[in-house]
Structure 1
Amino acid sequence: MFKKRIAAAAVGLLLSQNPVMANPLELGEGLRTADPSAHVWQDGRLYLYTSHDMECQADFHMQDWMAFSSENLKDWTNHGVILSLDDLSWADNYAWAPDAAYKNGKYYLVFPAGTGFKDRVNPEKSTKWMGLGIAVSDSPTGPFKDAIGKPLWTEPYANDPSLFIDDDGTAWLYFHGKNHDYYVAKMQDDMLAIDGDLIKMDMGGYEPKMEGPWVFKRGDNYYYTMPENNRVLTYYMATSPTGPWQYQGQIMDQEHQANNHHSIMQYQGQWLLFYHRWYQATDSDCHKRQRHSTAEYLYFNEDGTIQPVKRTDSGIRDFADKVMK
């Protein structure tokens, strides 16, 4: 009886540490993905573009980007690596959070990458630099090819891009930048360069530390969402993609004092929040939490504001049943 109790407790512990049967998303055994960017293309499938953490990596030295797609958000197709640092001539490290867009009959992947070394003990000795690249493909799953062979700009340091295509076809590029948070760049029509200078947006007087912005539109409202202080998901609203923005507050609280990165997309009439969550996975020999792509349902109030979202172990596994009701 005692041995049975021990065995039952062990199983319970494993399940509590790794609720893989619901959240995180079942993208592939042993995969560690983060920064999921969700898009719905002409074929009606939902696509996720993610960064790819190496198993037990000591720091964020990711090497490539991946894509996944699904029709029911339960069964996912792994399309593999769609772009790698090996495909770049101007960067050799930091394959961080990507985003994607469809325009001019092509699929565009905007991605951050860099060079140098980040000294976390003595930051003044750091040589790390990051910039934003643009890759293009005829297919949503690539392979993508570096379109210009260089970053879109070298100053300021930038990462965490978000591409938003407005109703009139204008493409806006939001990003996290050194001394340039809350700036936006208008893209040229060919998507291969920015059109004019970076634009400083009016954030209504509130500009906390942030990273990973994501912008979307619902009705007449534009939403600028972000991990505030790199942890808590918060948002602003506006009636223009460049503001002025009005701060609205929190979408999702932080967890484990760990970073977060997200996207928000409507699919088959249901709004969804994709983000990464730090789990200690049972299919790993690494005895620490690692990042995994996850999802929750997202709801709006009548005035367009977003209802707070709680992390769940059930996630969106009942999506197919939910949208059929």
Structure 2
Amino acid sequence: MKSLITGACLALAALGVAGTATAANPLFPKLYTADPAALVDNGRVYLYTGHDEAAPDGKDFVMHEWRVFSSCDMVHWTDHGVPMKALDFRWAKGRAWASDITRRVVDGKPVYFFYTTVEHATIPGFAVGVATSASPTGPFKDARGSALITNDMTTQTNIAWDDIDPAVFVDDDGQAYLYFGNTVLKYVKLKPNMIELDGPIQTVTVKDFTEASYVHKHKDRYYLSYSQHFPEETAYMTGPSATGPWTPGGVIMEKNTGTPTIHQAIVAFNGKSYIFYHNAQLPGGGEFRRSVAVEELKYRADGRIEPVAQTEHGPASNPSAGCR
């Protein structure tokens, strides 16, 4: 673990923000973290994770809250604590599963929209909620007072967890899409207010799809990445629009040892691209005690993504001059 931290992180520490975590993979050796989501804002990358709290011999996920961290250089991370707990959604039973986030300007001010997976208290199954904050580090508050998507709204499967892993993508024309699902990939348009659906939920046929759908754009190409098979590996497809049609692209990251899940998020930061994921490499780690890590992601000249190996050292420092 390296001890040097950036001047920006020192400034945050002086304001009472928790200090740097680490400069190597897994990123946060004092916490079991999972299901990464990422946002680049004002020259800083913000990383949102679930918090695995299962006992060493646990047989299920124990997740009550999300955590948020930030970095100016992809190496040194500042811990901003807990921006939200599952039970902050009063209609939820609990279970702080995977999330995603985006930033929109509303009435001239930035608003951060946090889409999350929780278990519903009164409608059987998992649901998608949306919360908002004026800051990327929270606190986030329920934006609706009710779920955005509930298990009874989709009937493609009879499992309780087929509406998990929300991922939000805002296209160049301002149209926002929400992708989600387990075993069946689904997406839906969002209204400009970002807290209502704009039309019917659509499904996408993806061979071997498991979960963790995620859409990003690089140059003029759209990339749909996701977990396939079980144990999972990270695969991707490409297309001419945010809704496809999608062409298979191959495998980005091979399956883990120690945990069958992997769950990616992909961002561009300071001229380079990065993929966040989780594994089980911390001492005592396992299926329900995971750990978030990051690697640099590279594109070939034809737009294909190069396969990414998991490393202990992670990416090289990439300090952002505009970080604040």
TM bucket (normalised to shorter chain) is 0.7 to 0.9
Q: Which amino acid aligns with 1:51?
A: G
Q: 2:102 is matched with which residue?
A: 101
Which whole-Å CA distance do the structure 2 matches of 1:174 and 1:189 have between them?
16
Is it true that 1:185 corresponds to 2:209 in the alignment?
no
Q: Is the contact between residue 32 and residue 55 of structure 1 (CA under 8 Å) also seen in structure 2?
A: no
Q: CA 1:287 to 1:32, structure 2 compared with 1: closer, same or farther past 3 Å?
A: closer
1:93 Cα offset (Å):
2.1
1:128 Cα offset (Å):
5.9
Q: Which has the higher helix share?
A: 1
Which whole-Å CA distance do the structure 2 matches of 1:252 and 1:85 have between them?
29
Q: Which amino acid aligns with 2:89?
A: L
TM-score when normalising by structure 1: 0.81
Is it true that 1:292 corresponds to 2:291 in the alignment?
yes
Q: 1:62 is matched with which residue?
A: 63
Q: Which amino acid aligns with 2:197?
A: I
Q: Is the contact between residue 270 and residue 318 of structure 2 (CA under 8 Å) also seen in structure 1?
A: no
For residue 87 of structure 2, give the secondary structure of its aligned residue in structure 1. helix
For residue 98 of structure 2, give the secondary structure of its aligned residue in structure 1. coil
For residue 279 of structure 1, give the secondary structure of its aligned residue in structure 2. coil
Q: Is the contact between residue 222 and residue 241 of structure 2 (CA under 8 Å) also seen in structure 1?
A: yes
Q: Which amino acid aligns with 1:165?
A: V
Q: 2:126 is matched with which residue?
A: 130
- In the TM superposition, 1:90-239 aligns within 5 A as 90-103=91-104, 104=106, 105-115=110-120, 129-154=125-150, 155-156=153-154, 157-177=162-182, 181-201=184-204, 203=205, 206-230=206-230, 231-239=232-240
Q: 2:18 is matched with which residue?
A: none
For residue 86 of structure 1, give the secondary structure of its aligned residue in structure 2. helix
Q: Is the contact between residue 209 and residue 226 of structure 2 (CA under 8 Å) also seen in structure 1?
A: no
Q: Which amino acid aligns with 1:219?
A: K
Q: Is the contact between residue 158 and residue 177 of structure 1 (CA under 8 Å) also seen in structure 2?
A: yes
For residue 38 of structure 1, give the secondary structure of its aligned residue in structure 2. strand
**Gapped regions of structure 1 (runs ≥ 5):** 1-19, 117-126
**How many percent of aligned residue pairs carry the same amino acid?**
36
Q: 1:269 is matched with which residue?
A: 271
Count the aligned residue pairs.
Answer: 281
Is it true that 1:88 corresponds to 2:93 in the alignment?
no
Which whole-Å CA distance do the structure 1 matches of 2:173 and 2:66 have between them?
29
1:280 Cα offset (Å):
4.0
Note the aligned Cα RMSD (angstroms): 2.2
Q: 1:306 is matched with which residue?
A: 305
Q: Which amino acid aligns with 1:110?
A: Y
Q: CA 1:32 to 1:198, structure 2 compared with 1: closer, same or farther past 3 Å?
A: same
Q: Which amino acid aligns with 2:198?
A: D
Which whole-Å CA distance do the structure 2 matches of 1:63 and 1:158 have between them?
19
1:36 Cα offset (Å):
1.0
Q: Is the contact between residue 275 and residue 293 of structure 1 (CA under 8 Å) also seen in structure 2?
A: yes
Which whole-Å CA distance do the structure 1 matches of 2:134 and 2:23 have between them?
34
Q: Which has the larger radius of gyration?
A: 1
TM-score when normalising by structure 2: 0.81
Which whole-Å CA distance do the structure 1 matches of 2:26 and 2:297 have between them?
16
Which whole-Å CA distance do the structure 2 matches of 1:62 and 1:38 have between them?
19
